[in-house]
Structure formats: structure tokens, C-alpha cells
Structure 1
Amino acid sequence: MVDAVEAIGKARAAVSERAELPGMSLMEHLDELRKRIVHSALYLAAGFIVAWIFKDWLLHLLQGPLLKIGKNLVFTHPMDALNLYLQVALLAGAILASPFILFQVWLFIAPGLYQKERRFVIPFMAATVGLFLAGASFGYFYVLPGAMKILIIDMGHNFTPMITIEDYSSFFLSIILGLGISFELPILIFFLAMFGIVSPRFLWKNIRYAILAVFIVAAIICPSPDPWTMCIYAIPMLALYLIGIGVAWWVHPSRRKAKEAAV
């Protein structure tokens, strides 16, 4: 009798929880998407304006790894300098506006989540921004200076370098954005696990493929062929993958259901 009462109580709780999810038509979804895109564009524009005010300081920051080895940028097209200022201001503005843009993303997906899942909003935003900045900082303070020294000073000492704005900015952005995005791996695993697409067992079972992929990425971004240096670049990404396994175990539906059944 007691078990039947508990089962009825859990069924009612499940129905009540599902009732929290508001039904939205296709047009309402599209209208909500339009609203979030407009708000995100406004935040991005505001971030761009703020970054443009500090464009000279940002440009000096961008050239930092190159200035440390006594080299300066050159340009071959009249628009190169203006384009660089615009790129720097847009990138910095996007980083400044990222918490507000991520909040808009969360507001768009929140109606499809249960009340207990919405508590992840603050950890989600903090972890997303923090991991991206960690990856970008790793690229700026370790990868770029090492790449500049090895590629220009060590390997290019017999030549006269002419580093153009276009080439350097592309190289800079590929490393900074690439590492910033790659450090978002735990966030990607978080969502895949929360929706039951991957499980911690699956991630652990395929860890050898993850290690292979990490070392391939490390070999691409590592400026030196030295295997020990490559390991220095690979270790943070492997650590993030292991953290992602822990995150997957924490949020996977099977664990939540087992916990609810135990209660």
C-alpha cells in the first residue's frame, strides 16, 4: 500500500514537472528567436563601441607577442590598417558582450527545460566565459610567443621577415579562437550528456580516441616538434576531457533517475 502511494506521488510529481514546460507554437518560437537575436545584436554593438574606444590599447595587446621579439607589422593594402582596427574591436566587443549574449541563448532554451534544470544558468554562463578566456589566455601567453620565437627567430634567422597585418591577424585569430573554442569541451559534453546523447561510460570507453584527437590538435598548434613541448599543450585539453566525463556523470539522465528512484 505504501509503495502504491509513493508511486502515485512520483507520477503526480512527474506530471506536475512536465506541466511546467509551456507549450509554444512555431510562430511563437520564431518570434522568441527573433527577439533574442535582436537583443544579442544590440549587446554586440554596445561591446563593439566600447572596444572601439580602446582600439589603440587593444591593437598594442594584439601585437604584444610580435613586439617582444622586436618585429612590427607591415601592410600592403590601404584598407589593411582599418580592417585590423575593425577586427580587433569586433572580437573584443564580442568577448565583452558574451555574458549577455549567452544569457539570451539561455532565455531561448530555458522554456524547454525543467525548473530544476534552469538552476544551471549561472554556472553555465560563468563556465562558458571562463573556459573561453582560459583557452584564449593559454594561446596568447604560451602558444603565440613560442610560435613567434620558433618560426621567426629560430627558423627564419636567415631571412628578412615581412609580417603583414592580414597574415598575422589570421594567424592570431586562428590560435586564440581555436584554443578558446576547444576549451569549451566540458560545456559541449554538459549539453550532450544532459540530453542523453552521450554517457560517461561512452566517453570513458572511447578515451583512447579522444587522446589521439587531442595530440593531433596539439601537434597542429605546437610551434615546436619537440614531443615534451607537445605534451605541455595536450595536457590541459586532456584534463578538460576528464572534467567533461565528470560533468557527464553529474548531469546524465540515468543518474538523475536513479537518484529520484532512491528518494
Structure 2
Amino acid sequence: MSDVIDKAREAVQERAELPGMSLMEHLTELRARLIRSSIALVLCFFVAYIFHEKLFAIVTAPIDALHYPLNYTHPTDPLNLYLKTSLYGGAIISAPFILYQIWLFISPGMYSNEKKYVIPFMTATVALFFGGAYFGYHWVLPSALKMLIGDFGHRFHPIITIEDYNSFFLSIIFGLGITFELPIIIFFLALFGIVDGRFLVKHMRYAILIIFIIAAIICPLPDPLSMCLFAAPMLVLYALSVGVAFAVSPKKKELPA
């Protein structure tokens, strides 16, 4: 851990010597990026709301396949569900633009040869998130519903509210989508010199232990084989992250005069 802290300090000190903006200029730039991202999110929200019925059908398809109706306990619950679904849909549509705004904000603190990663960063971030969401939507969520309602709850009459289902849906879809962003996180840590490929290989046994703990938490089935099937994609992602770290870990750079 001390090695990571030392590397982080060196990376911060090294980049602090690069020419940059003042604090007020950074705050002004951040404000502009936040305003543009917010406008994009609002516009995409309205676009998504036009198709809220179709989005709702996509969200509820896994539980509809089990023929369990959704219930609500408050008159505003259906409207809130449509609004939330449209908001999440708008966030997904506007994500590339928002990510680009994030990149434009952090790019002044990067070396010129590091800025070439913008297109791979954008593409990989979106692709990995959708990969994790797809994995959760088509395998994890249906299996979890079938086990929890069909196997453990078959003796009881399920009363599933739309709020409960929506929370369960989002925890799996967004949780796995974010989990699949591991190579991107490692990419930036390696890019800034905080970790490198050798560090990740050295501590691989701890990473494997953490991955299996996460797999045991999110796996809807109790048997070890199912847990291994859920851990397998994360192990592949960690291996990919090691390769990314070796590819982008900076050598000791000579600062420009």
C-alpha cells in the first residue's frame, strides 16, 4: 500500500510542474463542463420519455417472463417509474457526451502523447458498461428472479412493488456495468503512474480473493459452480487490466524544459 501512495505522490508532483490553469480557471472550466453535461442529460431525458413505454417494457421483460404482475402502493408510483426509467435512459444516451466533457476537463493535465487515448477511452468505457449491463440483464437478473421468487418463494404469494423491482433491477444492471469498468480504472491508475503491471501481478492473489467475494455476493445461486461462472468474466477483466497496465504504464518521462 505504501508503494501505491508513494507512486501517487510522485505522479501528482510530476504533473504539478506542468504548465496549467489557475484554481479559478479550473473552477470556471468545471462549471462550464457541468452545465453542458446537465443540458445534454435534460435533453436526452425528454427524448427518452417519448419512448417511455418501450423502455418500461424492456425493464420489466425479465419479470414478465415469469408471469408475476408488478404492484404499487402509492398513486404516483407508476409516474415515478416512468420518470426514473426515462432519466436512466437519458443518462445512457448522453453518456458519450458527458464522458467527452470529463475528458476535456482532465486533458489539460495530461501529456500530449496521453491525449491520444480519448477515442479508445470513450469506446472502451461505453462498450464495457454495456457489456456488464447485458450480462446482468440476460443472465444475472433472470436467474436471480427465478431463484428468489420461483424456488425460495414458491410457497408464498409474491407482492412485488414497482419500486422494489426497480431498485433490484438497477442494483444488478448498474452494479455489473460499473464492475466491468475495471480495465478503465486500471487504465487511469497506470496512466498516472499510480500502479503498473508488475504491481497487479504481484497482488493478483488478493484480487482473485476479492473477485470471488464479489461473485458470491451477486451470484443468485448458492452452488460453487455458479459462483465460478460469475467470477469468470471478472477474472478475464482483471487479466485484461493487467495487460492495459503494462501497455500504458509510463516510463520515467523527461519533463519538457
The question of a shared fold, defined as TM-score above 0.5 by the shorter chain, is answered with yes
Number of residue-to-residue matches in the alignment: 238
**Of 151, 155, 160, the match for 2:152:** 155
How many angstroms apart in 2 are the aligned matches of 1:53 and 1:229? Answer: 39
RMSD in angstroms over aligned alpha carbons?
1.3
Q: What is aligned with 2:25? A: 28
Does 2:240 correspond to 1:243? yes
Does 2:61 correspond to 1:64? yes
How many angstroms apart in 1 are the aligned matches of 2:52 and 2:69? Answer: 17
Q: Name segments (4+ residues, structure 1) moved above 2 Å.
A: none
How many angstroms apart in 2 are the aligned matches of 1:23 and 1:35? Answer: 17
Bigger Cα Rg:
1
Q: Deviations over 1:151-210 (max 9, x none)?
A: 111111110001101111111110011000000000000000111111111111111111
How many angstroms apart in 2 are the aligned matches of 1:195 and 1:110? Answer: 12
**Of 112, 117, 120, the match for 2:117:** 120
Q: Deviations over 1:58-77 (max 9, x none)?
A: 00110011001111110011
One-letter identity of the residue aligned with 2:213: I
Q: TM-score, normalised by structure 2?
A: 0.90
How far apart are residue 86 of structure 1 and its match? 1.2
SS at match of 1:70: coil
Q: What is aligned with 1:216? A: 213
How far apart are residue 25 of structure 1 and its match? 1.1
How many angstroms apart in 2 are the aligned matches of 1:117 and 1:143? Answer: 36
SS at match of 2:113: helix
Q: What is aligned with 2:80? A: 83
Q: What is aligned with 1:143? A: 140
How many angstroms apart in 2 are the aligned matches of 1:72 and 1:200? Answer: 49
Does 2:89 correspond to 1:92? yes
One-letter identity of the residue aligned with 2:66: I
Does 2:203 correspond to 1:206? yes
How many angstroms apart in 2 are the aligned matches of 1:70 and 1:113? Answer: 53
How many angstroms apart in 1 are the aligned matches of 2:149 and 2:30? Answer: 47
Q: What is aligned with 2:250? A: 253
How many angstroms apart in 2 are the aligned matches of 1:130 and 1:45? Answer: 23
Higher RCO (CA-CA < 8 Å; seq separation 6+):
2
How far apart are residue 111 of structure 1 and its match? 1.0
Q: What is aligned with 1:166? A: 163
In structure 1, runs of 5+ residues without a counterpart are 1-17
One-letter identity of the residue aligned with 1:230: M
In structure 2, runs of 5+ residues without a counterpart are 1-14
SS at match of 1:253: coil
SS at match of 2:160: coil
**Of 154, 158, 179, the match for 2:176:** 179
How far apart are residue 222 of structure 1 and its match? 0.7
One-letter identity of the residue aligned with 2:87: L
